[in-house]
Every structure is written in C-alpha cells, then in structure tokens.
Amino acid sequence: MKEQILIAARQTIETELREATSLPERLDDDFLRACELILACSGKVIVSGIGKSGHIGRKIAATLASTGTPAFYVHPAEALHGDLGMIAAGDVVVLISYSGHAAEFRRMMPLLKALPVSVIAFTGNRASPLGEAADCCINIHVENEACPLGLAPTSSAVNTLIMGDAMAIALMRTRNFSEQDYARTHPAGSLGTKLLCRVQDIMRTEAKVPLVQATATVHDALFELTRTGLGLVAVTVGDRRLAGVFTDGDLRRWLLKGGALSSPVQDAMTFPGFSLSASQLAAEAQALLQERRISAAPVTSDTGQVIGAINAHDIREAGI
C-alpha cells in the first residue's frame, strides 16, 4: 500500500511537470496583448472563474494586487446577481474556464462588451465560445490531467496558476515594481517592517530618554543610567543639542582612574558621541549599531537636537 501511494504521488507530479513544460512556447502575441491591455488599463483587473478555476483565480488576483496591478476576484454567479456593478468601463476582466463553455460567462460576455471592457480568457479551448469572444486568449491546454479519471482539474489548474504568475511577474518587472513598492502592499510582513519602519516610529521619547546637561555631575548621569536602563545618557548643551554620550563603559573607566562622582559629566563622557537620525530606517540603524559594536544611541533631529533614544532591543521588538 505504501508503494502504491508513492507511485501515485510520483506519477501526479511527473504528469503535471510534463504538461507545464509546454507553457514557455505559448507566450505568444495573445500573451503580449493581454499584458499590454493590463498595463494600459486605467481601472482595475477583475478575475473570475467557477469551481477550481475560481480558486486559482483568487490566487492570480491576489498576486496581481500585491505586485503592482490593482486587481480583485469576483465570483461569476455573484456577478450575475449584482456584483457586475463592481466592473466599470475601462477595466480589464480575466475569465478562467478550461472548457470555455461556462454558462455564467456566456451570460456575462454581452454585458461586459457593452460596458465596454477588455476581456482576457484563460482557457484550454481557443475555439470555445469564451476563447472566440475574448480580446485575447491565454492557452492553458493540457494533454493529460493528473487525475486518473481525467476529470478533476489538476494539470490544467497548475498550468493556469503558472500562466497567471508569469503574467503578474512580467507586469511587475515592466512597471519596475521595487522592494519598497512591495513593502507598501505588505506592511505587516517582515519585509514591510524592514523597509518601512523608521527610527522615529519605535524610538523612546520624552521621559524615557536618558538626558543630562553637560554641566551635570557624573553622579547625575549615573542616576539617569540607572533610571532608564538604556546603557547610555545623552549629554546636551543649550536647547538639547548633543554634546556627547556617557555610557556604562565611560563610568567604569572614569572610576578606575580615580574620577569623582561629583565631577562634571562632560569630563567623563565620550565626545562627540554617535547618534542616529529619526528619519533613518530602523534596519539601517540596527546595522550601524552592530558595525560600531554598541547597543544603544541617542536620536537627533535634523538640527542636532536630541529627540529620542533607541537600543538594539527596541529594534528587535519591532520585528527587524
């Protein structure tokens, strides 16, 4: 029984891979025309399909939307009961039906043409009503489904998904869709956090910032070190302009050489001290801290005033 399971699984994979190998040859004028229609579209791309084609259509719409092409999925039955109102003149509609004979699409097609919208068909039968009515036809034909009954969409579903991915990525590259663009559509993901989160978004502010004037004593700075637990104190002059930093290491070195706690902290601090900009990406700040082998830094404004502080733990907590 175990061997039968493995044989069936292996045959399924081999069949689907074999059918997929013919797809590069089908990147023809219709594929180019479909991409041009979408690139020129000032509206939306609406993807629709019934049954397994609908499941694949949802994935294609999601991939398009996350890679720079505004798109969403509409169920064909719902479209015939009001959701056609989501489609407007100037949109592009992608209809997926392997046979090309889906009854819902036959009813939808005259209405779509009347809007008018451009229609792209994903079908295994160019000579079908859908294939002939569409403005361009993406060929997803297979010789054999992996299903031994030849009934369940298996190889054809894979071919549809691959051609949908090919179209989405071709459009993405043509639009010069960047990592930053991708991050804006995935702000909750790790990439979005890395590319969008800035120091000002996660830094400590107000009372959480360890801060003393340059005229304060080492004892005052020690109190701030203890109060905030950040590992450093920003030493400022005037209107909070950074003069230097006083760290745990500075304190140890000061005491080892016989320095007094009553001495001015400016005599014991590190000058000028390293600081981060509030507008820097948090990932960049993390790299700078690692490069200098320090765990924390004050954050300054464009005019050099201390407005916050941050350490490596804060950055890790932000998911970077």
Write phi, then psi, for 89 (nearest 5 degrees).
-55, 135
Cα 21 to Cα 293: distance, rounded to the nearest angstrom: 51
Q: Which two tokens stand for residue 271?
A: 């000058």
Please give the single-letter amino acid code of residue 314: D
75 marked among binding-site residues: yes
Cα 200 to Cα 278: distance, rounded to the nearest angstrom: 5
101 marked among binding-site residues: no
Cα 225 to Cα 221: distance, rounded to the nearest angstrom: 6
Cα 116 to Cα 119: distance, rounded to the nearest angstrom: 9
Given a contact cutoff of 8 angstroms between Cβ atoms, the answer to whether 245 and 289 are in contact is: no
Cα 226 to Cα 253: distance, rounded to the nearest angstrom: 17
15 marked among binding-site residues: no
Radius of gyration of the chain (CA): 31
239 marked among binding-site residues: no
Grouping H, G, I as helix, E, B as strand and the rest as coil, residue 237 is strand
Cα 31 to Cα 166: distance, rounded to the nearest angstrom: 10
Write phi, then psi, for 191 (nearest 5 degrees).
-65, -40
Closest CA to 265 of 289, 283, 282, 247: 247
Binding-site annotation: residue ranges: 75, 81, 215, 267
Binding residues for substrate: 75, 81, 215, 267
- Residues belonging to the binding site for Zn(2+) are 75
